[in-house]
């Protein structure tokens, strides 16, 4: 079963997470931490270029990729292929991994027949060419059938292709592509030396079957471990847990399928602590939010130093979906990002000092929801899936790449606010430019090991995310052949290369995690029972909170809050009321009825107010199409943030 349409925050929300207040740890916005933080770094010069990919053929039928389109006879792709996925740098820093789908290849025995279907390529980033005259090289084209597992017509992908630091292997989706003892970029790495090994996660007590379905795999920098996520559906409810495991090559498996050489995931740990702090707890009528609760909803990466798991989990502020990190040994939780805009694709430099993210900041997409700071995420219990879905308009994302130092975005007493630097912010915004708003980031940006370059990829806005009922007009791509995906590289030209050192293997044991037992019943995450509670601000005031059962009396359906000069941080003082009711016609659809009359003083004067009849919207997380009746408007120091137009 595949869930490629489900989004990170979507799955998080369906888990029913709550969140805690700001702690003042790195990555929070608290001015009280200013004394421990350095000044914001000055903007630095960044040069962005587009990297080459195979040419486009307008004819995707067999034989459509003629020498007219590729004189070298080394394959074509389609103009609208959404399957071109950028990866990371090889350890030499001169090549990047890319997965894509070739189309229009001639029939066998034509030598060019191997350039068909899903493949892994590497692309040169320095302007040089491979011996055949191409700036790219297909690694998997022409691999003998007995050196790969037949897909038997089933769907697969090579998502997030991540090169190992040995330069001979790539983790791509749930596969490891291996060139034996040869470097992938060398002329000696030929198809006859390449093996494509499946990964298998055993989920049955007797070791039988095909193993569990895994998604969003990320390689640990020690080249020995990976993280992954797995979905489960129980009684119509979608849930997900993150996991950490060791890769173990199995040349001759005797149980489980496929019975071919493969990598088994062993010593698997569920990233969940049943005995740890719950995110939200009650003691009588007192409600407590625990900022050090470990709430891994979906693992998004493993830090460059290998000591931290980055994840989407419980929000810290209402409607503000960010990255948290947890130390793999101590279980200490930190807030990695805190800007009001949505973020989840992330990568950390190999020295741990810089993060590159994909973020919606350039469009202020989420400010009408999250621009008012310091609100505890109480109503988020019901609406995180709906809120997270606003960040996209169907297939159009509003992501652009940003870099931020290890201390995160932050305010200073003199009014400065450091939120990082947009990687592609120096263009002129013209069609096809590096910061053309019609080109939006996809998935994970990646650092080179020496910390001087970042690779990322983008897609072009096409119908129905533009045109028709959408108020955004459709334009034509300026890319060769009208291509709607492009591969980009940013060079931080003033930086000195890092002296990267291999990361020693970490322990298989995550002390705060739960060893996974195949076939065991998955845990149920704790929730707050219905009732009326008081949440006391860490600095000032309190909030009266009501968790109210739905009409069917099966789960919480309404959260109502009244704030009385509430503050957790001494920067934002919240007063007013908010009430949210949510119903879920199916596992992916949320209908929200929202009434808000909130105000704040302190670091800013803000308000978050719904129209007189309330704000009502419904969104399917598989579609991510925003449509609302009524309005929700946030005003921060006189700046008005309105919701997007319907269907835009």
For the cut 60, the answer to whether the pLDDT of residue 236 exceeds it is no
Specify if 281 maps to a domain: no
Supply φ then ψ for residue 362, to 5 degrees.
Answer: -65, -20
Query: 480-507, pLDDT tens digit by residue?
Result: 999 999 999 999 999 999 999 999 999 9
Tokens read off for 250: 């199995």
Give how many domains the chain has, as a whole number: 1
| Number of CB atoms found within 10 A of residue 228's CB | 22
Q: Chain centroid to CA 316: how far?
A: 18
The rounded distance, in Å, linking the Cα atoms of 479 and 430 is: 13
The rounded distance, in Å, linking the Cα atoms of 9 and 621 is: 10
Q: Give the pLDDT band of residue 82 (cuts 50, 70, 90).
A: low
Which of 574, 568, 531 lies closest to 549 in space, CA to CA?
531
> Given CA atoms 465, 468, 469, 475 in this order, what sign does their dihedral have?
positive
Peptide linkage before 214 cis (omega within 30 of 0): no
Specify if 52 maps to a domain: no
| pLDDT for the residue 235 | 53
| pLDDT for the residue 619 | 87
Mean pLDDT of 176-200: 97
Specify if 544 maps to a domain: yes
For the cut 70, the answer to whether the pLDDT of residue 20 exceeds it is no
Q: What is the dihedral of CA 173, 505, 93, 483, to 10 degrees?
A: 10
Tokens read off for 517: 């037992």
What's the CA angle centered on 258, arms 254 and 261, to 5 degrees?
70
| pLDDT for the residue 17 | 35
Residue-range definition of the domain harbouring residue 546: 531-641
For the cut 50, the answer to whether the pLDDT of residue 91 exceeds it is yes
Question: Do residues 120 and 170 make contact, with C-beta atoms less than 8 angstroms apart?
Answer: yes
Query: 250-291, pLDDT tens digit by residue?
Result: 999 999 999 999 999 999 999 999 888 889 999 999 999 999
**DSSP result, 70-85:** -TT---BB-TT-S--E
Which of 475, 466, 397 lies closest to 431 in space, CA to CA?
475
Contacts of 36 (CB under 8 A, 6+ apart): none
Mean pLDDT of 140-146: 96
For the cut 70, the answer to whether the pLDDT of residue 237 exceeds it is no
The overall average pLDDT reported for the chain is 90
Mean pLDDT of 57-80: 95
| pLDDT for the residue 37 | 81
Question: Do residues 31 and 412 make contact, with C-beta atoms less than 8 angstroms apart?
Answer: yes
Query: 509-541, pLDDT tens digit by residue?
Result: 999 999 999 999 998 888 899 999 999 999 999
The rounded distance, in Å, linking the Cα atoms of 113 and 617 is: 50
> Pick the residue with more confidence: 84 or 453?
453
Contacts of 98 (CB under 8 A, 6+ apart): 53, 84, 85, 86, 87, 120, 121, 122, 123, 136, 161, 487
Peptide linkage before 464 cis (omega within 30 of 0): yes
For the cut 80, the answer to whether the pLDDT of residue 449 exceeds it is yes
Q: Give the pLDDT band of residue 358 (cuts 50, 70, 90).
A: very high
The percentage of residues in the chain with a pLDDT greater than 70, rounded to a whole number, is: 92
For the cut 60, the answer to whether the pLDDT of residue 44 exceeds it is yes
Q: Chain centroid to CA 380: how far?
A: 19
| pLDDT for the residue 12 | 39
Q: What is the pTM of this model?
A: 0.92
Mean pLDDT of 356-379: 95
Specify if 601 maps to a domain: yes
Question: Do residues 269 and 513 make contact, with C-beta atoms less than 8 angstroms apart?
Answer: yes
Mean pLDDT of 5-20: 36
Specify if 94 maps to a domain: no
For the cut 60, the answer to whether the pLDDT of residue 580 exceeds it is yes
Mean pLDDT of 364-380: 95
Q: Give the pLDDT band of residue 213 (cuts 50, 70, 90).
A: very high
**For residue 273, how many C-alpha atoms fall within 13 Å in the half-sphere facing its CB?**
19
Query: 296-340, pLDDT tens digit by residue?
Result: 999 999 999 999 999 999 899 999 999 999 999 999 999 999 999
Q: Which stretches within 345-430 are classed as H helix? A: 367-370, 380-389
The rounded distance, in Å, linking the Cα atoms of 177 and 475 is: 38
Buried b (16+ CB within 10 A) or exposed e, 533-566: bebebbbbbbbbbbbeebeeeeebbbbbbebeeb
Specify if 560 maps to a domain: yes
Q: Give the pLDDT band of residue 627 (cuts 50, 70, 90).
A: confident
Q: Which stretches within 581-638 are classed as H helix? A: none
Name the pairing type of β-strands 589-602 and 572-586: antiparallel
| pLDDT for the residue 625 | 86
DSSP E strand stretches across 1-146: 46-51, 85-89, 95-102, 117-124, 136-138
Tokens read off for 422: 């947009």
| pLDDT for the residue 14 | 37
Contacts of 227 (CB under 8 A, 6+ apart): 217, 218, 220, 242, 243, 244, 245, 271, 299, 301, 302, 309
The rounded distance, in Å, linking the Cα atoms of 23 and 468 is: 46
Specify if 495 maps to a domain: no
> Pick the residue with more confidence: 476 or 416?
476
| H or E stretch at 10 | helix 8-14
What's the CA angle centered on 80, arms 157 and 443, to 5 degrees?
50
Specify if 541 maps to a domain: yes
């Amino acid at each position: 079963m595949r869930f490629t349409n489900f989004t990170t925050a979507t799955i998080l929300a369906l888990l029913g997470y709550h969140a805690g207040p700001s702690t003042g740890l790195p990555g929070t916005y608290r001015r009280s931490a200013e004394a421990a933080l350095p000044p914001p770094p000055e903007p630095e010069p960044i040069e962005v270029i587009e990297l080459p990919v195979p040419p486009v053929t307008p004819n995707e039928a067999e034989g459509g990729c003629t020498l007219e389109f590729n004189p070298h006879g080394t394959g074509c792709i389609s103009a609208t292929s959404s399957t071109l996925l950028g990866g990371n740098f090889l350890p030499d820093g001169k090549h990047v991994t890319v997965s894509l789908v070739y189309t229009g290849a001639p029939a066998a025995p034509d030598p060019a027949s191997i350039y068909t279907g899903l493949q892994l390529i590497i692309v040169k980033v320095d302007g040089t060419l491979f011996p055949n005259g191409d700036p790219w090289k297909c690694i998997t084209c022409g691999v003998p059938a007995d050196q790969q597992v037949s897909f038997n017509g089933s769907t697969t992908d090579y998502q997030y292709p991540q090169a190992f630091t040995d330069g001979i292997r790539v983790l791509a989706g749930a596969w490891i592509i291996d060139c034996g003892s040869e470097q992938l970029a060398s002329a000696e790495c030929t198809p006859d030396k390449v093996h494509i090994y499946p990964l298998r996660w055993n989920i049955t007590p007797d070791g039988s079957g095909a193993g569990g379905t895994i998604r969003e795999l990320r390689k640990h920098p020690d080249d020995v471990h990976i993280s992954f996520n797995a979905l489960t559906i129980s009684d119509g409810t979608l849930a997900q847990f993150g996991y950490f495991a060791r890769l173990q090559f199995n040349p001759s498996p005797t149980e489980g399928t496929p019975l071919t050489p493969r990598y088994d995931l062993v010593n698997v740990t569920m990233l969940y602590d049943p005995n740890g702090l719950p995110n939200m707890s009650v003691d009588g009528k007192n409600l407590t939010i625990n900022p050090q609760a470990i709430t891994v909803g979906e693992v998004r990466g493993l830090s460059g130093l290998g000591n931290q798991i980055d994840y989407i989990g419980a929000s810290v502020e209402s409607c503000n979906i960010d990255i948290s990190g947890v130390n793999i040994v101590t279980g200490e939780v930190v807030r990695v990002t805190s800007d009001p805009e949505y973020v989840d694709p992330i990568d950390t430099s190999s020295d741990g000092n810089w993060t590159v993210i994909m973020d919606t900041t350039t469009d202020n997409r989420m400010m009408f929801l999250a621009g008012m700071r310091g609100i505890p995420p109480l109503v988020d219990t019901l609406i995180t899936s709906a809120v997270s879905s606003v960040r996209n308009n169907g297939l159009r994302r509003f992501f652009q790449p940003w870099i931020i130092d290890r201390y995160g975005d932050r305010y200073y007493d003199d009014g400065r606010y450091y939120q990082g630097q947009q990687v592609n912010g120096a263009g002129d915004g013209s069609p096809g430019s590096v910061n053309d708003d019609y080109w939006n980031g996809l998935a994970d940006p990646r650092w080179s090991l020496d910390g001087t370059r970042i690779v990322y990829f983008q897609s072009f806005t096409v119908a129905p995310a533009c045109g028709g009922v959408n108020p955004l007009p459709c334009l034509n791509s300026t890319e060769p052949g009208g291509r709607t995906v492009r591969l980009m590289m940013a060079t931080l030209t003033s930086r000195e290369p890092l002296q990267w050192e291999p990361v020693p293997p970490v322990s298989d044991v995550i002390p705060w995690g739960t060893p996974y037992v195949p076939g065991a019943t998955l845990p149920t995450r704790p929730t707050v029972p219905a009732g009326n509670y008081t949440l006391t601000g860490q600095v000032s005031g309190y909030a009266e909170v009501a968790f109210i059962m739905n009409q069917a009396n099966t789960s919480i359906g309404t959260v109502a809050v009244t704030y009385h000069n509430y503050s957790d941080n001494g920067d934002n003082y919240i007063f007013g009321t908010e009430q949210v009711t949510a119903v879920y016609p199916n596992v992916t659809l949320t209908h929200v009825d929202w009434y808000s009359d909130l105000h704040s003083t302190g670091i800013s004067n803000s308000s978050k107010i719904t129209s007189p009849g309330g704000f009502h919207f419904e969104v399917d997380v598989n579609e991510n199409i925003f449509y609302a009746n009524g309005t929700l408007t946030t005003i921060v120091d006189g700046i008005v943030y309105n919701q997007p137009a319907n269907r835009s």
